Structure 1
Amino acid sequence: MRYERTLYPPIEPYETGMLDVGDGHVIYWERCGSPGAKPVVFLHGGPGAGCSAKQRQQFDPDLYDILLFDQRGCGRSTPLACLENNTTWDIVADMERLRELCGHRKWQVFGGSWGSTLGLAYAQTHPDRVSELILRGIFLSRQSELDWLTKFGASEFYPDGWDAFAGAIPEAERTDLMSAYHRRLTDDDAGVQEAAAAAWNRWECQTLTLQPDEAMVEECATGANSVANARIEAHYFLHSCFLEESQLLKNAERLKDIPCVIVQGRHDCCTPPAAAWALKQAWPEAELQIVADGGHLFTEPGITDGLICASDRFAGKNC
């Protein structure tokens, strides 16, 4: 399929800083685009991935004042890979601190994958602070979604990758791979952590794109942020992302007055479309776009097109 919209050209921040949010954590933040323009906060995935320069390009820099930040333990935030005082609700509180730092009364919330989870949690906690939501690759942190990646589901689509993921753990521990990986990712031996992180990230990253991208998979597995990503993700997954079962669906009524666009890949094997569909049923006011040839990542053409159109439209620009 052919799509018209692509990412905006690369931009650099006009301001950066470090915010001490307490509990021993200091958060990196940056602002891009035009000061005083329409405010938006971008929420990265993972949990644990950190922000990248390309993520700034999902917004027209002339129309948006864009805040990106590395969540606790991620990217340029310190201490790196720290799990203490690192929960969904800690990050929700950090977002409010950042909103106040920027001086915004309301802002648009834009997040994909784990960023969609965090965006929903924030909007349900502070609906009066959210002007719009743009969400991609919905992840609601239900047990069925956690099991999809770590027990059964994605394993049926990527049996070769699954064998390598499970095979990195001794057979006696394979009935609970999440716990087995968590033990290794919190081991005192850095070498044990690195090996577990490489196997964990390599498995997950194979599920992210419709077309194979071996270079991206290898960067996920062994890049500079690989241990932080895997450690924090396993920590969150082991605790169901600090959410009650189906909490985000049960509280969807709190979102009914917030305009929302959901962009979901039909062939997303990391966060399958069933979660986006369940959210749409609980929140009929939301606009759900299922991209027929889309996977999980925002850089896939159909996903990019849907996200850029949504961010343009909410800024008053024709799509």
Structure 2
Amino acid sequence: MKEVVVALCDGVVLLDVAGPMQVLHGSGGYRIRRASIDGRPVRTDVGVLLGADLALDELEGPIDTLLVPGCAPPYGDRPGEAFSNLVRDIGGRARRVVSVCTGALLLAEAGLLDGRRATTHWAAGAELESRFPRVALEPDAIFVRDGPVMTSAGVTAGIDLALALVEDDHGPDLARTVAKYMVVFLQRPGGQSQFSVRGAVPATRHPGLRRLLDAIAAEPAADHTLAAMAAQVAVSERHLTRLFRREVGLTPGRYVERIRVEAAQALLETTTDGVASIARRCGLGSDETMRRTFLKVLRTTPTAYRRSFRTSRSHRGVVDTVGGAQGDAVPEQPEGLTLTC
């Protein structure tokens, strides 16, 4: 039984706690204790009181895993220096430190992410980068592992992270069984991006750039070379690159690539068109070019993506079972695993 300590503070995100705890408890391989700064219950972001087993300063000796969930006002102020000091102390004695969602900010405040790669909820990425320049943000990841420290993206990504912990500690078979009972993927097969690039881009105040972004989305396969786009906006290529970096947060080429990939994802999910045809329609050229681009952006192939995300609801009124094909035998429930609905 590996000991996991969940560090609680007022305003803690309930799902950041409940999701990973459900996974770890379901595996039967962990002793989980919740610790607050004074040992008293905390009020979660949705107003629910969450009990604590002990105070953080009552923890003695080494522990296996420190888990720090995110914190979301208004139900509590951001944790202060006392909380950060305790997280730093306990994290230094832990074999492994993990965070969920904006818990990465709390780890950064404690100095536990200095010089490391990390991720967090997409909405908190800019804050993490600006406040903690020594942290190498990977804004598009579901979770990031850097040595003994793991950080995950927003809320439900904590389930992905917890399943990875179970797989590390107890093997893929148990992790797969827990995932099936929770009706989630053991590992999200592609589509690793936390968000749509179009949805993540703030509204630009530059009218020419706004028209260009609309045009790219409307016709991904059109000529969107740097020269062509600069001519459309009536600026130099260098100035257009600066505009994209300032207003969009990406280079022009990277933005166009992401729009084309998202267009291809939609067609893979909703049509039976061949990969070569989709590649041409989305401006990705050949099927081989599309394959290389998918591997770079989504870490999966177009065929694997379609197999994982293709919906059959409009054709058969049913979606294949997550974690296995329809008709798979239900795995024997392991000892200690509790199925809740």
**Highest Rg: 1 or 2?**
2
* Larger RCO (CA under 8 A, 6+ residues apart): 1
When normalised by structure 2's length, the TM-score is 0.29
